[in-house]
Amino acid sequence: MEYTAKTVLITGAARGIGRACAIRFAQAGFRLLLNTRTSTEELEHLRAELTSRFHAVCRTSIGDVGDESYVKELFLELHNLGGRLDVLVNNAGISIVGLFQDMTLDEWNRIISSNLTSAFLCSRSAIPLFLSQGHGSIVNVSSVWGNAGASCEAAYSATKGGINSLTKALARELAPSHIRVNAAAFGAIDTEMNHHLTAEERQALEEEIPVGRYGTPGEAAELIYDLAVNHPYLTGQIVTMDGAWT
């Protein structure tokens, strides 16, 4: 096992890509601060697993990272992990599938808050810590639909397009301070976000992917980890992993 005293904050960590990221960073010896909005039981099971398997130092926090007051509380938790932060993984997000004309304003505001405002609030809170340490890394979890747009997922696509632009702009702003900002744009990863598809829809989608299968959360986590800790000259990039789908 690699050893490091570094700390990572992962939002939306209870399931899917976030959960796989927590396992990967724990395996590397990171201290972890893990967030979820509603999946409290799953997150506590994950904390117990990480503590048992990797002897990880791990704290959990329940709340909405689209809410400014909660994010302030979340970052206060870092003091219990030594008061430092080395990596921020902005993974929290939701998808709303349906015709754009049928979307309500409440649904629009909810997906903007969950997917885009959360990255703004957490990144804004992380930057002063990174500046005080002289380094830091932000990895934003994006989607191929942020590049191409998806029918019946217009709002989701808009949030991921915003994530991509935020990544590029913030990377330019922070590069002189040795703070890197990158994004991982994923295609079809086999997580609960895709479980609304019928068996026929899943098979049809799989047949569209040249690699011939869905990606796994573990593969996604490996890319996120690599972007977070390696390649000191790599910043401002949207790295796509989609099995040549797009």
pLDDT digits (tens, 9 = 90+) for 96-127: 999 999 999 999 999 999 999 999 999 999 99
Can you give the CATH number for the domain in which 111 is found? 3.40.50.720
Give the residue, 57 or 198, on which the prediction is more confident. Answer: 57
Q: 124 in a domain, yes or no?
A: yes
Q: 187 in a domain, yes or no?
A: yes
Q: What is the pTM of this model?
A: 0.94
What is the distance between the alpha carbons of residues 24 and 168, in angstroms, rounded to a whole number? 25
Predicted local distance difference test score (pLDDT) of residue 200: 83
Q: 69 in a domain, yes or no?
A: yes
- Give the model's confidence band at 32: pLDDT under 50 very low, under 70 low, under 90 confident, else very high: very high
Predicted local distance difference test score (pLDDT) of residue 5: 79
| Residue 70 amino acid letter | Y
Q: 2 in a domain, yes or no?
A: no
Q: 122 in a domain, yes or no?
A: yes
**Active-site pick, 156, 214, 225, 233:** 156
Q: 36 in a domain, yes or no?
A: yes
Q: Is the dihedral of CA 39, 112, 183, 81 positive or negative?
A: negative
Q: Count the alpha carbons within 13 Å of 109 in the hemisphere toward its beta carbon.
A: 4
State which residues form the domain around 86: 7-241
Q: 1 in a domain, yes or no?
A: no
DSSP H or E segment with residue 235: none
Write the DSSP assignment of 177-223 as a string of letters: GTEEEEEEEE--B-SGGGTTS-HHHHHHHHHHSTTSSPBPHHHHHHH
Predicted local distance difference test score (pLDDT) of residue 246: 87
Active site residue 156: yes
- Give the model's confidence band at 82: pLDDT under 50 very low, under 70 low, under 90 confident, else very high: confident
- Give the model's confidence band at 3: pLDDT under 50 very low, under 70 low, under 90 confident, else very high: very low
Residue spans of beta strands (DSSP E) within the chain: 7-10, 31-36, 58-62, 87-90, 136-143, 179-186, 238-241
Give residue-wise pLDDT tens across range 131-155.
999 999 999 999 999 999 899 999 9
Predicted local distance difference test score (pLDDT) of residue 79: 86
Structure tokens at 21: 């990221």
Q: 246 in a domain, yes or no?
A: no
Give the residue, 193 or 56, on which the prediction is more confident. Answer: 56
Total of domains in the chain: 1
Predicted local distance difference test score (pLDDT) of residue 199: 83
Predicted local distance difference test score (pLDDT) of residue 34: 98
